[in-house]
A and B are shown apart, each in its own frame.
Chain A
Amino acid sequence: MPESILSVENLTKCFPTKQGLVRAIDGISFVMAPGDTLGLVGESGSGKTTTAQCIVGMYPPTSGDILFKGETIGAAFNRRPKHVKGDLRIVFQDPGSSLNPKRTIKQILSVPLAVHRVGTSRDRLARMKALLEMVELPADEYLYKYPQAIGGGEKQMVALARALATNPSLVLLDEPTSALDVSVQAKIINLLIRLRRELNLTYLFITHDLSLMRNVASRVAIMYLGKLCEIAPTVEFFEHPVHPYTKMLLSSIPVVSDEEEALKPHKAISKGEIPSPVNIPPGCSFHSRCSERGDSCAELDPEMREIAPGHVVRCNHWCGPEGE
């Protein structure tokens, strides 16, 4: 067993556009151990989805490396060996568009099984039923339905079953519950947690919902304008947020109880909007919205610094625990 299951090294992805070069991801690095659940959190336009898409091979990265179980898989999906495609799966945000509306659940589930030749064609029907049971859907009823006949949460469960059809070890979850209601989200999240335990899965969980990550992730990473701002183990992250952007995010979360209200950092009132990625501010890209901005921030792009075991921050202003 290799030490890390996924390791992203200095990943950069640029898109040429009419307005100029967009640096959607700008040199991010992180490592995931087997069994990890890394929450990659950011606003829209932060590059979190592009990161997932690079890892899954939708685009080849501009530079940098993606190592999966010690093997470089940087190329786009059509160059990847088949076993990697089966071992690294993705669940998309919008269950409506990730299931073909003109195909039955049975047809949908049969694709990965057929492509990866899981089992003989004879026991595939049994396998499909087992997959549906695994995601807690009554198989005989759901196999012969079209996606539009089932609810959003059930669609996402089918998408999850499809992802698990090839026995993957790493699953990318691209906002899997953000289109769902909380009571359905709760079901899916608990299902995900159970499956991770039972099938030894590793999750890269892409989301904008920090309160959800508080309950699911083992580590949390924050992205802003294509760069990572802060990575920390979950408890540390929520108890000692360091980066001003992290604090701003935390303070913006609408909460439902006074205990939670007390946990939010209150000094960091949100202001401004995420700048266009064509026009990234010089220096620290967050300085235009930062409440703790120093003089050097507009010029000096900060480095990633490890300030506690596993707690990495990219901020000029942070000067040790006593500086807080």
Chain B
Amino acid sequence: MWQEKRADLAASFALRRRGLAKGWYKFSRNPLSVVGLVVLVVIVLATGLASYITPYPAHAGPYTNFKAAGQPPSWEHLFGTDRIGRDVFTRVIFGYRFSLLLGIVVLGLGVAPGVILGLIAGYHRGTWVETTIMRVTDVFLAVPPLVLALAITAMLTPSLLNEMFAIALLWWPWYCRLVFAVSSSMRNQFFIREAEFSGASEAHILFREMLPNCLAPILTKMTLDMGIVILLGASLSFVGLGAQPPTPCLGTMVADGAKRLPGEWWSTIFPALAIVLVILAFNLVGDGLRDVFAVEEV
């Protein structure tokens, strides 16, 4: 009995490992995706170890040193210093931390309800359930996202948490739509029919039969969306509705520095480049994932 169980587990594990190996093979066919992944890993590691690797971790908090204010890039301050003497490099790394946190929390909050509602709507295609869910989704999609986010954050007090909440509220309808499109086209596939005929529960059909087939587009979109969410977060911060000073936030840093262009270019250009870099990395990885999930032609 135990032996059988062990063999069973080992076989399942081997299967999974083979799947991963094949996925990596397809991903690595595109060198740009690998570059994106490397950049992403470096950024994630850097944010994780920010307190240890940055030269002036204290600069991420309330710190002023007017003597060192507005210095151009040098070996001491790689990205220069801002108008109150904080090291821009340190703040960019810490800024990444909040950007990534924003992205993860927003997608975490937004994707789950979107996916569940999309699955339900797809499974009940053509009934009032679908109509209700999809029309509510449409209402959310009809409002321009930035305007809604501005309205929500302006209504509440501007803070990182409210910013996340506002963006998450905008984000679920996209996943609902995406999952609805995939799952409703799957609705009449015979394997769904077969599960129904054999008497499987709806939860089984939604989460065991349909969800695994939706994962590919969901994961791809999530990766691509990380960049967009980070950009949206930066935009909100740029207009002062995101994280409040002295929290290091890339959008706020760009906004602050922009007032001093073109003289102190480094305090705005480097945070801006940092935003570009992370978005680019997410997009490259997203493209790679798309290749992984693409159906083989052979």
Asked if A99 is at the interface (CB within 8 A of a chain B CB), the reply is yes
Bin chain A's interface residue count: 35 or more
- Given A104-B15, A143-B11, A144-B15, also A92-B199 (CB < 8 A): no
Q: CB distance B209 to A112 under 8 Å?
A: no
User: Shortest beta-carbon distance, A303 to chain B, in Å?
Assistant: 34
Inter-chain contacts of B15 with A (CB < 8 A): 104, 144-146
Asked if B25 is at the interface (CB within 8 A of a chain A CB), the reply is no
Which of B8, B14, B197: most chain A Cβ within 10 A? B197
Asked if A18 is at the interface (CB within 8 A of a chain B CB), the reply is no
Q: CB distance B190 to A144 under 8 Å?
A: no
**CB nearest to A90 among chain B residues:** B197
Asked if A100 is at the interface (CB within 8 A of a chain B CB), the reply is yes
Q: CB distance A98 to B190 under 8 Å?
A: yes
Q: Mark B183-205, 1 if CB is under 8 A from A, else 0.
A: 00000011101111111110010
Asked if B1 is at the interface (CB within 8 A of a chain A CB), the reply is yes
Task: In the complex, identify which listed stretch (A37-45, A81-89, A278-286) lies at the interface while the others stay far away.
Answer: A81-89
Q: CB distance B199 to A86 under 8 Å?
A: yes
- For the complex, what is the distance from the CA of A90 to the CA of B8, rounded to whole Å? 29
Q: CB distance A111 to B1 under 8 Å?
A: no
Asked if A197 is at the interface (CB within 8 A of a chain B CB), the reply is no
Q: CB distance B197 to A116 under 8 Å?
A: no
- For the complex, what is the distance from the CA of A144 to the CA of B200, rounded to whole Å? 22
Q: CB distance B191 to A144 under 8 Å?
A: no
Inter-chain contacts of A102 with B (CB < 8 A): 212-213, 215
Asked if A271 is at the interface (CB within 8 A of a chain B CB), the reply is no
Q: CB distance A115 to B198 under 8 Å?
A: yes
Q: CB distance B4 to A125 under 8 Å?
A: yes
Q: CB distance A144 to B11 under 8 Å?
A: yes
Inter-chain contacts of B189 with A (CB < 8 A): 97-98
Asked if A310 is at the interface (CB within 8 A of a chain B CB), the reply is no
- For the complex, what is the distance from the CA of A99 to the CA of B194, rounded to whole Å? 9
Asked if A56 is at the interface (CB within 8 A of a chain B CB), the reply is yes
Q: CB distance A94 to B14 under 8 Å?
A: no
User: Shortest beta-carbon distance, B71 to chain A, in Å?
Assistant: 56
Q: CB distance A85 to B190 under 8 Å?
A: no
User: Shortest beta-carbon distance, B69 to chain A, in Å?
Assistant: 57
Q: CB distance B197 to A56 under 8 Å?
A: yes
**CB nearest to B196 among chain A residues:** A77
Bin chain B's interface residue count: 20 to 34
User: Shortest beta-carbon distance, A251 to chain B, in Å?
Assistant: 33
Asked if B12 is at the interface (CB within 8 A of a chain A CB), the reply is yes
- Given A122-B1, A143-B11, also A58-B193 (CB < 8 A): yes
Q: CB distance A125 to B8 under 8 Å?
A: yes
- For the complex, what is the distance from the CA of A101 to the CA of B191, rounded to whole Å? 9
Q: Mark B103-116, 1 if CB is under 8 A from A, else 0.
A: 00000000000000
Inter-chain contacts of A78 with B (CB < 8 A): 196
Q: CB distance B198 to A99 under 8 Å?
A: no
- Given A101-B213, A111-B200, A116-B199, also A162-B12 (CB < 8 A): no
Partner of B198 from the list A122, A145, A166 (CB cut-off 8 Å) is: A166
Q: CB distance A97 to B191 under 8 Å?
A: yes
Asked if A194 is at the interface (CB within 8 A of a chain B CB), the reply is no
- For the complex, what is the distance from the CA of A77 to the CA of B193, rounded to whole Å? 10
Which of B8, B190, B193, B200: most chain A Cβ within 10 A? B190
User: Shortest beta-carbon distance, A105 to chain B, in Å?
Assistant: 10
User: Shortest beta-carbon distance, A123 to chain B, in Å?
Assistant: 10
Inter-chain contacts of A85 with B (CB < 8 A): 197-199
Q: Could you tell me which residues of chain B, from 52 to 95, have a CB within 8 Å of some CB in chain A? A: none
Inter-chain contacts of A92 with B (CB < 8 A): 190, 193-194
Q: CB distance A82 to B199 under 8 Å?
A: yes
User: Shortest beta-carbon distance, A295 to chain B, in Å?
Assistant: 44
Inter-chain contacts of A57 with B (CB < 8 A): 197
User: Shortest beta-carbon distance, B103 to chain A, in Å?
Assistant: 27
Q: CB distance A103 to B209 under 8 Å?
A: yes
Q: CB distance A99 to B8 under 8 Å?
A: no
Partner of A94 from the list B190, B200, B209 (CB cut-off 8 Å) is: B190
Q: CB distance A111 to B195 under 8 Å?
A: yes
User: Shortest beta-carbon distance, A158 to chain B, in Å?
Assistant: 11
Which of A58, A144, A146: most chain B Cβ within 10 A? A144
User: Shortest beta-carbon distance, A6 to chain B, in Å?
Assistant: 15
Inter-chain contacts of B12 with A (CB < 8 A): 104, 106, 144
Q: CB distance A144 to B198 under 8 Å?
A: no
Inter-chain contacts of A122 with B (CB < 8 A): 1
Which of B189, B198, B213: most chain A Cβ within 10 A? B198
User: Shortest beta-carbon distance, B188 to chain A, in Å?
Assistant: 9
**CB nearest to A94 among chain B residues:** B190
Q: Could you tell me which residues of chain B, from 147 to 204, have a CB within 8 Å of some CB in chain A? A: 189-191, 193-201, 204
Inter-chain contacts of A97 with B (CB < 8 A): 189-191
User: Shortest beta-carbon distance, B297 to chain A, in Å?
Assistant: 13
Inter-chain contacts of A94 with B (CB < 8 A): 190
User: Shortest beta-carbon distance, B292 to chain A, in Å?
Assistant: 14
Q: CB distance B197 to A100 under 8 Å?
A: no
Q: List 19 A-B contacts (CB under 8 A).
A: A78-B196, A82-B199, A86-B198, A92-B194, A94-B190, A97-B191, A98-B191, A100-B191, A100-B213, A102-B215, A103-B209, A106-B12, A111-B195, A112-B198, A115-B199, A143-B11, A144-B15, A145-B15, A146-B15
Give me 18 other A-B pairs in contact (C-beta within 8 A), A102-B212, A103-B212, A125-B8 excluded. Answer: A77-B196, A86-B198, A89-B198, A90-B197, A92-B190, A94-B190, A97-B189, A97-B190, A97-B191, A98-B194, A100-B191, A100-B209, A111-B204, A116-B198, A143-B11, A144-B14, A144-B15, A162-B198
7 residue pairs, one from A and one from B, having the closest CB atoms: A102-B212, A98-B190, A92-B190, A144-B11, A100-B191, A85-B199, A112-B198
